[in-house]
Amino acid sequence: MGRQLKFNIFRYNPEDPKSVPHMESFDLEETEAMTLYIALNRLREEQDPSLQFDFMCRAGICGSCAMMINGRPDLACHTKTKNLPDEINLMPLPVFKLIGDLSVDSGTWFRAMNEKVQSWVHTDKPFDPNAEEEPMDNQLAEEIYELERCVECGCCVAACGKANMREDFMGAAAFNRIARFMMDPRDERTGTEYFEVVGNEEGIFGCLGLLGCEDVCPKEIPLQDQLGMLRRKMGWQSIRHLFSRLLPD
């Protein structure tokens, strides 16, 4: 017989005026290789069909199943119950808009973020569909790919003290995106253009360096290194600008 697990799950349906936020407990017997994805689906099938949560790929690729698991943001589909204690608390991610129970709307947030950082290659070169693709140095391509792996799950945002305090803070996922385009030789944006997007208190200078983001990212993207690089680049750029203003040539 497997362990007897106790789930304490946040319940609230903002659509229902009679609903009040509360925690509800469920008991479930652990089975072999059980993930939270399996557990939640069984709870919904066997105990309460109204339970709301999100899943798509169940393989850590789509980023839709992020939730607070015993206080820590992580992907439910790749979290094995055998690594958790008998009692498991599940809460929706903070910062994002609650849809109901464990389901949040991270899509709107990430769409706004991608629009803000203008998350596409900016180039004036006319596109010729018949031309051969320009080759890219393999090492560089891999470095860019390393940052491309973000699945937009929102764990880094939920784990960020600044994002919890300030709605307008861009968050580590956004810094990672910008760093990705700064590395890309096809993107013709200038330093000043990048500065305009991140060189302020809502951007990199608002980051407190708490590294909640770095420590929870389920894809282990090197967020810390992007934050440090961005602040250094943007900081020095502002100093250079200041000196060029003070000492006109």
Partner 1 sequence: MFTQNVAQAKQPYRTDAYLDTFQMFSGVALILFMWSHMVLVASVNLGSRVMNSIAHFLEATYLAQIGGPMIALIFLAHFVMAARKIPFNYKEQKAMWTHSVRLNHLDTWLWIVQAVTGMIILIMGSIHMWTVLTDLPITAAKSAARIQGGWWLVFYMMLLPVIELHVGVGFYRLGVKWGWITRSNRKSLKNFENRLTIGFITIGLITLFTFYFIIKAA
Residue 69 has phi, psi (to 5 degrees) of -105, 110
Q: Which does 176 bind (CB under 5 to 8 A by kind): ligand SF4, partner 1, ligand FES, none?
A: ligand SF4
User: Does 117 contact ligand SF4 by CB under 6 A?
Assistant: no
Q: Does 165 bind ligand SF4 (CB under 6 A)?
A: no
Tokens 């069984």 -> residue: 42
Nearest to 206 by CA among 155, 170, 174, 177: 170
Q: How far is the CB of 37 from ligand FES (least distance, A)?
A: 6
Per CB under 8 A, contacts with partner 1 among 77-106 are 94
228 binds, among ligand FES, ligand SF4, partner 1, none (CB under 5 to 8 A by kind): partner 1
Beta bridge partners of 26: 7
- In this structure, are residues 81 and 71 in contact, taking their beta carbons and an 8 Å threshold? no
The residue within the footprint of partner 1, chosen from 26, 235, 244, 247 (CB under 8 A), is 235
DSSP 3-state of 7: strand
Which residues in 70-109 contact ligand FES (CB under 6 A)?
75, 77
Residues contacting residue 185 through CB under 8 Å, at least 6 positions apart: 136, 140
Block residue for tokens 């980023």:
63
80 vs 39, 96, 197, 227, CA distance in Å?
Answer: 10, 25, 39, 30
Binding residues for ligand FES (CB under 6 A): 55-58, 60-65, 75, 77
Binding residues for partner 1 (CB under 8 A): 68, 71-72, 94, 159, 161, 164-166, 192, 195-196, 199-201, 205-212, 214-215, 222, 224-225, 227-229, 231-232, 234-235, 237-239, 241-242
